[in-house]
Chains A and B, each alone.
Chain A
């Protein structure tokens, strides 16, 4: 099993894999930076919740999933959508409210869906997606599919009744769910210590009989490793797993706020742990990344974003006559 050529090949794959992780995280970061500008220029409207600083979480967890697995996300889900493989053009067009958007302009930033990659939202009710993920897992179990459902939510959701009800249910029925708690320390503007009597969220999940772990969410490699281990356990029939991914959002809750609830020192301390910088540093130290290749990566992503924006600008709007489409299904089961 560990012949030399294979080992060599695996090493090369690992390196490429890490560069792939870097590309994904950078894509998410640059995409969102472009969104900020487009929002400021009123090309994007509504709420816009940015994932800047948290890219390692979506990137690491989703790297551990297979193509048939399912993902349920939150309203801060640009990162999950891009990391899961929703085409950037479709995500950007959705931001613009265009027909070519991944939800045909009906969802916007908070409701990105893509059946082809198993992304079931984009849920803007805090905790609202958790029961849904449990049900998807139930359907998989009842139909003997080997699928795992990854369910993302934040530390704020852990205060919702739906979180507790759902963890209990998933554990009770040993369902194949990977609970991914993105603990960025704030439920909008409320610090975790002001919200939870017990801030160790992984410990609370353990109390439902779910195997749980806290992971450094600023380290994409650590996230991926923890997620792979958890997914293996779930596929082996061990029931749900819970990962608390400790992370931080560098920007406001939604687009802009005045950061009255946290101080600049805290923000800059976390920025020193920027997951992209950390991976860049590591790859450089290992000799896998040069200035030139990094610049190439950036310009590549920049062009991709520019194309996505141009395509979104040019894309048609959903005709108003179709306003009430998709309230009810258009085809009735025979």
Chain B
């Protein structure tokens, strides 16, 4: 009997979260000493698959999964991260799991310190054994030398450059006994270019020692450069497994994105809009937004009056930061000119006052007063911002119930909100109808510019279509300028005139909706190889 050909073999893995199928019959196999890329868009199921492999509690708290996992040909049951570690699976995290106040040695050896018995440990048990700092330092040195990291093992992590931290994490993982499979979860996301190149070198060194690597990334160029084989997932489905040398960045991009583009609405009416590059309604110059997890580094773009402008990109790249920064919901810097007037980003509510309405991606958190009635939800922004639906009694302004009710009824009819009446609580509506209430409130402000963020998140396909049609109608019939931020390329491409793809906090490219799938895939991956085929 020789060695098993695969160090890891996952077969027929399916997983449901609350009836929502996120993985469907996916398989993954990795050979010893191989660097294997796991590719896919956000929501393709990569992290769920890795959570299953690592035995994370989130999997087992939500009903487990089906399918088999084999390590070195042996079927195994991984029900906790500890079990995964015992089996020789290590994970290099995207956010550093390091302790700044500890030395490099202490970080590498955390939880696995080498100890010597003492008098007290004979009586009270192993936890009172003394640390053998010399042996620990020796081990740490060895691990650091393996990956070629030239730092002293006794310095504190606190003072080190960010780029080193990833390498200390790697040193910690390879210091573990019997490690045979390492998972790198987007390791290059926080590194500079030269650091990333060194990381790839290090991965090769580790792989040459017979340790298999699963490499999760969205940077296609890195995949082509370093990996031996790839597995592509899309929408929880297994799409393809291929040898890297038999494929190309364009092909991978196509596999990741490639779906039949179904138009979400029928654009049969003739387009009577006149768009001009000179008539700019919103102009962003060097916008920086500090939104946690969606940082915008430097965005400049122009939105023409009357167009539908799309902003797309992968989660975490900063597309959501743009509208939240403009509205003043997150700390932002830079120049924003709206309708010829500069907008003060520091002043909350300034954007609303100037006539920009915003439908937030966080519908239940920011978008709605869940326990209040539909009527209240529709009118409260306009009451606050424009002073509508108020009767002035001299000493106090009171709510004009009659006007508000009439307006709510009109909106319910116009947007076809399915409800028992304007007094129903907004929280009890379905997702699609909640979204319509949000849009109704935005429209009540009579805005010049409507920004919708993730308008179809968490609503079913029928309602999706209605929302998209509504946006199209507002744009085509009323001439309202719309900015649509969405992670779903399909809906951006079916409605927008232009689509800006945001990657790593900057606008990577501005695309036309009829550009090829591969071009979109490459742009979303932030691949630095444009200039060749397109332009």
Q: Tell me if chain B binds chain A.
A: no
